[in-house]
Amino acid sequence: MVFSIDFPVSFHYCSRMIILDPIDSAEFISSNATHVQIHADGIEKLAHKIKNALCSGSAGVENWKSQELTPSVANEQAVEWIFVTDLLNFSFWTDSHPHYEVSFGGKIYTGYWALCAAVNRAVDEGLNLLDANVYKDISEEQMKYVFRSANGSEIPLLKERWMTLQEAGKTLFDRYNGSFINVIKLCEKSAKKLLELLCQYFPSFRDNATYKGVQVSILKRAQILVGDLWSCFEGKGFGEFHDIDQITAFADYRVPQVLVHFGVLSYDRHLTEVVRGGEQIENGGDLEVEIRGCTLQAIQLIVRRTKQLLSERAESEMISAPIAATCNAILVDNFIWTYRRNHADVIDKSMPMHKTRCLFY
């Protein structure tokens, strides 16, 4: 499958580009990778762990709204919250200590949760950061205040976040009557169509690369936006997509760590030395594309095997298999990401995260 996207000339893209979608990109990249390998025994091990989590109810879609900082109610405001946080959901690691931290509600948050805390804090303080009419004109000084830290560190790529937020706000204001809900309505309940709209009109979502002469796409933030909508609304209303299985994992710098830890992925000697040495890896370079593409492919294989295990369990116990039907890359990715948060010390010792500074993750 390919994306065929018409880009407005003002975005300085060629008028028409043919790009492999994330699923086909993952297959192509993993089939040609020389620095990263996928291992069947690791897939088997992790699939069993995920099956058990799904059966126990600890990894279901309903868990999304139970987090401290995510919207607890699936409504229109939740849609705008998801859009803003996923616009800015990238590059939280710092070059050195201290890590970026945000204080909110008497607690300290780091990483993605620091972003969520900063957005929620701004809304509580009277700056409606969920309104495109507000953030299309937000100043850089306001952004600095919104994302002020608890320890004096600065959120990475602050200026790029400011420009990304402003640009998206202006697009919503000019084209979609100031609301991301109107973008969702245009996708006609198609996850793939929503990805195309995001890439067409919101440049910061264009998480693409050229690998072995082929245009491939990873689309971490665009896909996680769809995944968050689906999770928040539990596949209904604004989160209903008839092709949700077209969404793959969200290839960031954390999920690959867990896959290496469980033996799903392995790096060759050169890549291992680069990652363990803390060297920055070029965004769009072969090393980075192989890590992320093989991550996507590995998750696809884990989803497939987990579904089989769930179906086998249902058959052996002579019960229906609704969990197998709803198991997808979104739930698997969420499980893996959360697992890393809960076992950070062990995972980080197993394999550090790879470092790439960019807008895409």
Query: What six digits make up the tokens of 282?
Result: 């070029």
Residues 6+ positions from 208 with CB-CB distance below 8 Å: 19, 215, 216, 217, 218, 219
Q: Are 360 and 207 in contact (CB under 8 A)?
A: yes
Instruction: Give the active site residue among 21, 86, 207, 252.
Output: 252
As beta bridge partners, residue 2 has 20
8-state DSSP, 101: E
Q: What is the H or E stretch that residue 3 is in?
A: strand 2-6
| CA distance linking residue 39 with residue 263, whole number of Å | 7
Q: Are 112 and 86 in contact (CB under 8 A)?
A: no
8-state DSSP, 100: P
Q: Is 232 helix (H, G, I), strand (E, B) or coil?
A: helix
8-state DSSP, 88: S
* Number of Cα atoms under 13 Å in the Cβ half of residue 342: 6
Q: Is 208 helix (H, G, I), strand (E, B) or coil?
A: strand
Q: Are 183 and 176 in contact (CB under 8 A)?
A: yes
| CA distance linking residue 14 with residue 230, whole number of Å | 32
Query: What six digits make up the tokens of 119?
Result: 């957005």
8-state DSSP, 237: G
Number of neighbouring beta carbons within 10 Å of residue 39: 15
Catalytic status, residue 286: no
**Ordered DSSP codes for 52-87:** HHHHHTTTSGGGGGGSSSS-SS-SHHHHHHHHHHHH
| CA distance linking residue 314 with residue 262, whole number of Å | 26
Dihedral angle at the C-alpha atoms of 34, 35, 36, 39, nearest 10 degrees? 70
Residues involved in catalysis: 252
